[in-house]
């Protein structure tokens, strides 16, 4: 298992075990920069996982609670943790999300 994939699984397990987790705490736990955690969260969200920011200064995240309609569908988080999504699929999704974010930033700068 690659380091990034292992970190993603670790982040998801941390989010599952607590009501919320700050980006700084995740950064400290995995020994990476806070920006890396922000990128990881963006990649996981782009892959369809139900992660949402928690309002406040701490830069925290939590798993989104399922709505009754969404509860009938299998949770993407369980699929990810069981390995249903390949690393290659996640890499492609992450690249698309990154490219989309970059295009958005360029549009704002060109403004």
> What does the alpha-carbon distance between residue 75 and residue 81 come to, in Å, rounded to a whole number?
10
Residue-level pLDDT at 59: 80
**96 pLDDT band (50/70/90 cuts)?**
low
Q: Can you list the domains of the chain with their CATH numbers?
A: 3-110 (1.10.10)
Question: Which of the given ranges, 38-42, 69-73, 76-80, 103-107, has the highest pLDDT on average?
Answer: 38-42
Q: Which DSSP state fits 22?
A: E
Kindly report whether the global pTM for this prediction surpasses the value 0.95.
Answer: no
* DSSP characters over 50-89: -EEEESSTT-EEEEPPPPHHHHTSPPHHHHHHTT-S-HHH
CB 19 within 8 A of CB 55: no
Structure tokens at 47: 């892959």
- Report whether pLDDT(11) > 50: yes
Residue-level pLDDT at 70: 46
Tens of pLDDT, residues 45-54? 888 888 999 8
Residue-level pLDDT at 81: 56
> What does the alpha-carbon distance between residue 64 and residue 61 come to, in Å, rounded to a whole number?
9
Mean pLDDT on 41-70: 80
Phi, psi of 53 (to 5 degrees): -75, 150
**83 pLDDT band (50/70/90 cuts)?**
low
């Amino acid at each position: 298992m690659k380091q990034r994939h292992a970190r993603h699984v670790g982040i998801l397990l941390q989010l599952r075990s607590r009501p919320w987790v700050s980006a700084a705490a995740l950064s400290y736990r995995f020994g990476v920069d806070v920006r890396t955690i922000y990128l990881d969260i963006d990649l996981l969200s782009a892959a369809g996982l139900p992660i949402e920011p928690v309002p406040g200064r701490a830069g925290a995240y939590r798993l989104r609670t399922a709505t009754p309609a969404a509860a009938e569908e299998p949770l993407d988080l369980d699929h990810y943790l069981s390995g249903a999504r390949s690393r290659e699929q996640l890499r492609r999704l992450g690249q698309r999300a990154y490219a989309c974010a970059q295009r958005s930033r360029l549009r704002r700068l060109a403004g």
